[in-house]
């Protein structure tokens, strides 16, 4: 196989011609690979775990951050660090609005709740700041978040980059942020996949910018800042093409797609429909698009059953963000407690009458302000927390489980978003 050309955009291609790191990783479970990339019409995963959501959120936040630096035409400086409290506040809102009450971003283990992930995010953002000051100060931003494609004489190799920078007189570096921990060389499969991904970056940079002074670098931010790099070399290009081509040919020849349960099943969006679990989730019931909860599952606090009478009247929509947050507070904080339930019963009796008053009253404006003031206190109330969403059989800590082998959970979906 040899490189014919490179592009900064994907072109439409049949599945059997595409090679990406996501595909390579997902192929470890053939059923998962089939659902994600082969099935026609393409099915939607039932949910996205907060494990993956944290990585997606962090990448989007950092992307906007560097786009602002790029727009200002300034070199990266030590005062370009992230505002960690702002990162956390935005994540809480993203979880509440995008996750708790809609489909994605489920906390899928009862032993870990939103606050555990928030603590992890704080560590990741703090480590990122230290890295930026130490390693990126003085760099020029060349590109932020983009597609890359390599056309070979057989297949198309694809990826996405987070950031490209250049230090005056130095290598051009394609940076890939990882919110997990680094793969260990002793767990060869993960380590090799990571090196191949970085090799793809280096090959693309070589052909895109016409220089060999290029490298791809992954930065793992969960435990300190660990860098893993691949500098361009003709032997790297040869290895990437050899490995990627062999993988694609093997998968194209595959005749069946059996599920192979693994330690990512808890976080797998296909779990509710996976034959390995016969319609039941690996360890947790997950509410999903069109996928009913198993009968044994604890029913979710139903936002649909009860109405936020007053807030809906004040904001004139049951879908207003403020109403959504109040519903979350009611379902997650008040409903589980006896005193909270008494308060809700009283509210149910008095709410409709009060709502009628606010509906046509000039007091609506004041009520809006009062509710918004109240909502500013909600993050301090720890909304939502462990046990909010699910009941999980497995109580082993995530890190303990992950440490049992080279677990792709450290990297999959947490920062690796090559596609
Ligand atoms: S739940 Fe596990 S076995 Fe089933 S598709 Fe997902 S990763 Fe594969």
Q: Average pLDDT in the 302-313 region? A: 61
Pocket test for ligand 1, best of 27, 271, 277 (most atoms within 8 A of CB): 271
What does the alpha-carbon distance between residue 339 and residue 112 come to, in Å, rounded to a whole number?
25
Q: What separation in Å is there between the alpha carbon of 26 and the centre of ligand 1?
A: 10
281 vs 165, residue with greater confidence: 165
The pLDDT assigned to 14 comes to 93
Q: Using the predicted structure, report yes or no on whether residue 222 has a pLDDT greater than 80.
A: yes
Q: Alpha-carbon dihedral of residues 374, 375, 376, 380, nearest 10 degrees?
A: 100
Query: Phi, psi at residue 369, to the nearest 5°?
Result: -65, -40
For ligand 1, atom 7, the nearest C-alpha belongs to 265
Decide: residue 57, CB within 10 A, 0-12 exposed, 13-18 middle, 19+ buried: buried
Q: Quick one: average pLDDT of 29-53?
A: 86
CB 88 within 8 A of CB 367: no
Question: Average pLDDT for residues 226-239, to the nearest whole number?
Answer: 94
Task: Report how far ligand 1's centroid is from the alpha carbon of 279 (Å).
Answer: 12
Regarding beta strands 214-220 and 172-178, do their DSSP bridges make them parallel or antiparallel, or are they unpaired?
A: parallel
Task: Give whole-number Cα distances, 161 to 62, 121, 195, 286, 352, in Å.
Answer: 12, 21, 15, 32, 52
pLDDT, one tens digit per residue, over 122-174 is 999 999 999 999 999 999 999 999 999 999 999 999 999 999 999 988 899 99
Q: What is the pLDDT of residue 45?
A: 83
Give the distance (Å) from ligand 1 centre to CA of residue 41: 20
Q: Name the architecture of domain 3-7+48-255+405-410.
A: Alpha-Beta Complex (3.90)
Among 22-36, 210-224, 309-323, name the one with the lowest average pLDDT. Answer: 309-323
d(CA 419, CA 412): 12
Strand partners, 216: 174, 230
Testing ligand 1's pocket by substitution, the residue of 48, 268, 407 carrying the most ligand atoms inside 8 A of its CB is 268
Q: Strands 3-7, 214-220: parallel, antiparallel or unpaired by DSSP?
A: unpaired
Q: Is 294 a residue whose pLDDT tops 80?
A: no
Mutate to test the pocket of ligand 1, among 25, 29, 256, 282 (most ligand atoms within 8 A of CB): 29
DSSP 131-154: HIIIIITTPEEEEEEEEEEEEESS
Per residue in 340-373, pLDDT (tens digit) is: 778 888 887 787 778 777 776 677 778 888 887 7
Average pLDDT score over residue span 268-288: 72
Nearest to 400 by CA among 70, 21, 111: 111
Contact by Cβ (8 Å): 407, 401:
yes
Closest C-alpha to ligand 1, atom 4: 274
Which of 111-115, 244-248, 263-267, 340-344 is most confident? Answer: 244-248
Per-residue pLDDT band at 320 (split at 50, 70, 90):
low
Which element (helix H / strand E) includes 180? none
In the chain, where the domains are located = 3-7+48-255+405-410, 309-381
**pLDDT band with cut points at 50, 70 and 90 for residue 108:** low
Give the DSSP H or E segment for 216. Answer: strand 214-220
Instruction: Using pLDDT thresholds of 50, 70 and 90, give the confidence band for residue 283.
Output: low
In terms of pLDDT, which residue wins out, 194 or 93? 194
CB 200 less than 6 A from any atom of ligand 1: no
Report the pLDDT value the prediction gives residue 328, as an integer from 0 to 100.
62
Cα(360) to ligand 1 centroid in Å equals: 53
Q: Is 268 in the pocket of ligand 1 (CB under 6 A)?
A: yes
| Phi, psi (deg, nearest 5) at residue 171 | -60, 155
Our answer on whether the CB atom of 29 is closer than 6 Å to any ligand 1 atom is yes
- Report the pLDDT value the prediction gives residue 41, as an integer from 0 to 100: 79
Residue 171: CB atoms within 10 A of its CB come to 19
Neighbours of 328 (CB within 10 A): 21
How high is the pLDDT of residue 378?
A: 61
Query: Which of left, alpha, beta for 278 (phi over 0: left; psi -120 to 50: alpha)?
Result: left
Report how far residue 401's alpha carbon sits from residue 277's, in angstroms, rounded to the nearest whole number. Answer: 20
User: Which pLDDT tens digit goes with each residue over 57-82?
Assistant: 899 999 999 999 999 999 999 999 99
Q: Which residues of 185-221 are buried (b: 16+ CB within 10 A; e: fewer)?
A: eeeeebbebbbbbbbbbbbbbbbbeeeeebbbbbbbb
* Cα separation, 380 vs 100, whole angstroms: 17
- Token digits for 69? 């630096």
pTM for the whole thing?
0.68
Q: Is the beta carbon of 45 within 6 A of some atom in ligand 1? A: no
Task: Assess whether the C-beta atom of 276 lies below 6 angstroms from ligand 1.
Answer: yes
């Amino acid at each position: 196989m040899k490189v014919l050309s490179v592009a900064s955009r994907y072109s439409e291609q049949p599945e059997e011609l595409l090679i990406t790191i996501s595909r390579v990783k997902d192929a470890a479970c053939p059923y998962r690979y089939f659902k994600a990339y082969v099935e026609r019409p393409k099915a939607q995963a039932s949910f996205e775990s907060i494990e993956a959501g944290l990585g997606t959120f962090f990448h989007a936040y950092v992307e906007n951050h560097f786009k602002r630096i790029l727009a200002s035409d300034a070199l990266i400086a030590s005062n370009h660090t992230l505002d960690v409290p702002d990162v956390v506040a935005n994540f809480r809102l993203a979880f509440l609005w995008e996750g708790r009450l809609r489909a994605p971003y489920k906390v899928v283990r009862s032993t870990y709740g939103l606050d555990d992930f928030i603590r992890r995010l704080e560590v990741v953002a703090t480590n990122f700041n230290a890295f930026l000051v130490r390693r990126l100060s003085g760099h020029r931003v060349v590109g932020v978040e983009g597609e890359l494609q390599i056309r070979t004489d057989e297949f198309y190799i694809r990826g996405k980059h987070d950031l490209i920078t250049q230090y005056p007189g130095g290598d051009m570096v394609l940076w890939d942020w990882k919110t997990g921990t680094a793969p260990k060389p002793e767990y060869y499969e993960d380590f090799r996949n990571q090196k191949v991904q970085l090799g793809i970056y280096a090959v693309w940079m070589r052909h895109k910018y016409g220089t060999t002074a290029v490298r791809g670098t992954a930065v793992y931010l969960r435990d300190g800042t660990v860098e893993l790099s691949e500098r361009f070399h003709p032997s790297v290009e040869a290895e990437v093409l050899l490995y990627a081509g062999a993988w694609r040919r093997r998968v194209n020849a595959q005749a069946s797609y059996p599920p192979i349960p693994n330690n990512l099943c808890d976080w797998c969006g296909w779990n509710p429909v996976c034959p390995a679990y016969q319609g039941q989730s690996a360890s947790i019931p997950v509410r999903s698009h069109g996928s009913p909860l198993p009968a044994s599952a604890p029913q979710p606090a139903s936002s649909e059953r009860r109405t936020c009478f007053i807030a809906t009247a004040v904001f004139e929509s049951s879908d207003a963000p403020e109403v959504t947050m109040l519903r979350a507070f009611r379902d997650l904080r008040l409903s589980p407690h006896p005193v909270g339930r008494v308060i809700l019963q009283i509210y149910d009796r008095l709410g409709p009458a009060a709502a009628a008053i606010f509906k046509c009253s000039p007091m609506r404006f004041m009520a809006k302000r009062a509710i918004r003031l109240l909502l500013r206190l909600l993050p301090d109330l720890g909304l939502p927390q462990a046990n909010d969403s699910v009941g999980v059989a497995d109580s082993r800590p995530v890190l303990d489980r992950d440490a049992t082998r080279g677990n792709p959970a450290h990297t999959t979906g947490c920062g690796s978003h090559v596609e």
